[in-house]
Amino acid sequence: MAEPLPYKRVLVKISGEGLMGPSPYGIHNETLLKIANDIKLVTESGRQLCVVIGGGNIFRGVAGAAHGMDRTTADYMGMLATVINGLAVQNALESINVPTRVQSAIAMSQISESYIRRRAVRHMEKGRVVIFAAGTGNPFFTTDTAAALRAVEMNCDALLKATQVDGVYDADPKRNANAVRYDRLTFDKVIADDLKVMDTSAIALARENRLPIVVFNMHEANAIANVLNGNGKFTVIAADASKAA
């Protein structure tokens, strides 16, 4: 039997595209509820959990800038997309009786709390799931960087990066049938080999704070709970690969 990963408080980074399911755009309700039920399993195990969600299913700032839009404006639009996704996940979680709070890095008091570190920690200590929206609140920073930052601020034991594949490969497995999957990696190798796990600033922040990153396929059944229980395929990135888990 697999050994559970020794993480009691974790941050899960979910891409906006992860909410689309089979849809070409927006939020797929069945996929949303599947993710919510997976999160519920984790909270029922006694672990504390917080979430950062991207906004690429609605609007991506870099893409907007590439089409001639001012980058700062485009990035703020992307941040607002993450708030929409955060509210959707909150609604799905609360529909299955999981207490949840959305905290936004951009003040919008009528629909969410403003980000306050101590309040977020207290919510998790009380068993609530905290969803961090609007990235870092600053343009030119991705939600990957926001995830690493919030995980460090929350004193999380690990950052769980939900992706479209079951770990980190030395090449794109969707394009290269001979791509090799890693079970464990160091931060240095990820940066040196440009493995495209997360942006470099997020990897560097995790490395500096010795925050393990676990990369897994979010489309598997009960993906988050299974990974935390040590089951299935995933890649652990840490300062020392031999001690990654």
With a pLDDT cut of 70, the percent of the chain lying above it is 98
The domains located in the chain, with CATH, are: 9-243 (3.40.1160.10)
Quote the CA–CA distance of 109 and 7 in Å, as a whole number: 32
pLDDT tops 60 at residue 245: no
pLDDT at position 67, please?
Answer: 85
In sign, the C-alpha dihedral spanning 219, 104, 72, 25 is positive
Rounded to two decimals, the pTM is 0.94
Quote the CA–CA distance of 238 and 245 in Å, as a whole number: 8
pLDDT digits (tens, 9 = 90+) for 161-210: 999 899 999 988 888 989 999 999 999 999 999 998 999 999 999 999 99
Q: For the chain, what is the mean pLDDT?
A: 94
pLDDT at position 243, please?
Answer: 52
pLDDT at position 196, please?
Answer: 86
pLDDT tops 60 at residue 3: yes
pLDDT at position 241, please?
Answer: 63
- At which residue do the structure tokens 């607002």 appear? 80
| More confident site: 171 or 122 | 122
pLDDT at position 61, please?
Answer: 78
Among candidate residues 112, 99, 102, 88, the one with its CA nearest the CA of residue 31: 88
